[in-house]
Chain A
Amino acid sequence: MIMLACQNLEAGYSGKSVLRDIHLSVRAGEMAGLLGPNGSGKSTLLLCLSGALQPLRGSVSLEGVLLSRFGAKERAQKIACVPQRPAYIPNLTVRELVFMGRYPYLSPFAAYTDEDARIVDKAMRETKVLEFAHRYLTELSGGELQRAFLACAFAQRTDVLLLDEATAGLDLARSVELFTLLRKRVTAAQDSGNASVRQCVVAAIHDLNLAALFCDRLIFLKQGRIVADGPTQSVFTRDTLEDIYETGVTVFKHPVAGRPQMLLSPKA
């Protein structure tokens, strides 16, 4: 089943388009990596997919319904987004932040229920932020902050999870942990065969090898257009990468995982 779809999407800021001719559909159970050089439009695409930016032309739809048709809270029950490290970090505790993930489910003037508290605790356990739940965000390291935002997104209980450079600022072990966690969410949905589970992940990633290791599908953006999109095995090739990143690379098979990996091989 198709969860997110873009048709002929053109988007940008103050009338100037950054993205052009975007056709894209993301199915339930998919974990897609969004790759591309700096300024290729990854963040802009995520803004459109999360409904935070109105397209200039074309459409974004969720389960066949135009994204603009959803109310703000209704949309937030379906799509969650882990942002890049924010410019301003408020003086709130981790727990207070994660509770914001329950806001889309809150009717006006109501208070959070025990059920909300249970979901928040579970999200914090999954992302391993429970032990510093009462610390202030301003006191956290980059990696801890990233996980706190992930916990907030988990607490939203959405089908679609978008991540904008989620591994920026994470060390190796934490990056692997994060992606293992995301994979588990998605594959649990695949294996259960339960039609009501419709998890999918779209993650903008800077690290090519990490993306190739964990994502089944890679989407490459360059200068605002999709230049390659397909199963990791078939698009993660030397020709594609050299073309997109304009530098020499060597692609080889991971000796254990069997997935393609790359090394930089600058032409002298």
Chain B
Amino acid sequence: MKKGASRFFFRMLIAGFGAACVSVLAACAIGPAPLSLKEAARALAEFLGVAHMEIDRTALIVVGEMRLPRALLAFFCGAGLSMAGVVFQGLLQNPLADPFTLGVSGGAAFGASLALTLGLPSYLTIGGVSVGVLSLCALAGALLSLVVVLFLGRTGGGWRRETLVLAGIVVSSFLSALISLVKSLNEESVAGIVFWIMGSFQGRGWEEFWLFFPWWVVGAAVMFAASRELDILLLGDIQAGRLGVRVTRVRLALLAAASLMTGACVAVTGIIGFVGLIVPHFVRLMQGTAHRRLLPISAVCGGLLLLWADILARMILPGGAELPVGVITAMLGGPFFCLALGRRSRIAP
């Protein structure tokens, strides 16, 4: 479109991609039993099979089986939650909307924790295709709580931004209580409950990554495919229809995609709040609302944010103990939410 804007966009994207690669490398090096960047790079190369290196086996396992999948999971979860935030904000024309404030994360966490408590298998093979049951339960929970929130938050034929978020918080708190109850009745430790309510990447590996990633791809594909329609829907349903958008179909597809994305993230990590709130607002400030550019840049920035938040969560406590990464995003997100609450026109969708 505009030459300058598009050049800026590509520079941002390339810079973001570079930063992501460096950050993943850093995430592989940092931790208890720290490695130098060079050692981490050698271990990565060996693990990915790009080059054959003489390398210490412990380092190889630490990097390849523990830190790399965790870093990738953090990056793609951050990207997914940011994109889901972008979509929710755009569809609801509400700068306060994000998977967490709308209660979608809470619903997904409840669905997933219920599935685990009931002892459902995480995979089910139907006709040779394995389906992630855990992710499906999280998706069902996410969709269900979204429906409830949209229903509760409806005032006079529309959704006022504060009312909608209020409904989201109510549903979220209620579901958190339910999660705690279900987990307690099942005689699980407090740590297990905290994991769901204040999400964490602790101990996550390749298994969780592959449980999550296919859904991520599906959700992201739908969102990107509908990015033009997202712009037009900002004009309201009537005008969007007059411009040739099949409003109901596009809306349902996008809400489902954003819920799916949230469900997939939450099923493997628990509730990580506010990522989808902070990131899109900053990106809009830099380069406007056009979703064709907003979605990819938000994805990269969200990935970087959550990746570094996770690195911080691993390092901040002395003695190798970990902080749930949700604590860090909530500490960033709370003040930011207040900022967004005061009407700042440029950060609205």
Q: Which residues of A contact B (CB under 8 A)?
A: 47, 50-52, 72-77, 79-81, 83, 86-88, 90-93, 95-96, 99-101, 103-104, 106, 108-109, 112, 134, 136, 138, 152, 156
User: Which of A80, A92, A103 lies in contact with B245, CB distance below 8 A?
Assistant: A103
The answer to whether B243 touches A99 (Cβ under 8 A) is no
Residue contact A103 to B349, C-beta cutoff 8 Å: no
Is the pair A100, B242 in contact by a Cβ cutoff of 8 Å?
no
**Chain A residues with CB below 8 A from B348, complex form:** 90-91, 138
Shortest distance from the beta carbon of A93 to any chain B beta carbon, whole Å: 7
Chain B residues 225-254 with CB under 8 Å of chain A are: 225, 228, 231-232, 234-236, 238-239, 241-246
- Give A175 Cβ to nearest chain B Cβ, in Å: 22
Q: Are B238 and A100 in contact (CB under 8 A)?
A: no
> What residues of chain B lie closer than 8 Å to A138, measured between beta carbons?
345-346, 348
Using Cβ atoms and an 8 Å threshold, which residues of chain B touch A93? 2, 288, 290
Question: CB distance B239 to A83 under 8 Å?
Answer: yes
Chain B min CB distance to A70 (Å) = 10
Alpha-carbon distance between A50 and B240 when the two chains are bound, in angstroms = 12
The answer to whether B225 touches A72, judged by C-beta atoms less than 8 angstroms apart, is no
Q: Within the assembled complex, what's the spacing in Å between the Cα atoms of A86 and B239?
A: 9
A-B residue pairs in contact (CB < 8 Å), sample of 30: A47-B238, A51-B241, A72-B244, A76-B244, A77-B244, A81-B242, A83-B238, A83-B239, A86-B236, A87-B236, A88-B93, A90-B93, A90-B231, A90-B234, A91-B289, A91-B349, A92-B231, A92-B289, A93-B2, A93-B288, A95-B1, A96-B288, A96-B290, A99-B1, A100-B243, A103-B228, A103-B244, A103-B245, A136-B288, A136-B346
Does B314 touch A at the CB level, under 8 Å? no
Secondary structure call for the B interface: loop
- Compute how far the CA of A73 lies from the CA of B249 in the bound complex, rounded to whole angstroms: 14
A100 touches B235 (CB 8 A): yes
Chain B residue nearest to A101 in the complex (CB): B243
Q: Which of A80, A99, A112, A136 contacts B242 (CB 8 A)?
A: A80
User: Which chain B residues border A72 with CB–CB below 8 Å?
Assistant: 241, 244-246
Asked if B67 CB lies within 8 Å of chain A CBs, one says: no
Binding site for A on B (CB under 8 A): 1-2, 93, 225, 228, 231-232, 234-236, 238-239, 241-246, 284, 288-290, 345-346, 348-349
Question: A106 touches which one: B228, B236, B242, B288 (CB < 8 A)?
Answer: B228
Question: How far does the alpha carbon of A87 sit from the alpha carbon of B348 in the complex, in Å?
Answer: 14
4 new A-B contacts at CB < 8 Å, known A76-B244, A93-B288: A77-B244, A90-B348, A92-B234, A136-B288
**Complex Cα gap A81–B246 (Å):** 16
Flag if A95 contacts B236 (CB, 8 Å). no
Q: Is the CB of A104 within 8 A of B289?
A: no
Q: Is the CB of B2 within 8 A of A95?
A: yes
Q: Are the C-beta atoms of B238 and A103 separated by less than 8 Å?
A: no
- Decide if B243 touches A96 in the complex (CB within 8 Å): no
The 3 A-B pairs with the shortest beta carbon distances in the complex, nearest first, are: A76-B244, A90-B234, A73-B244
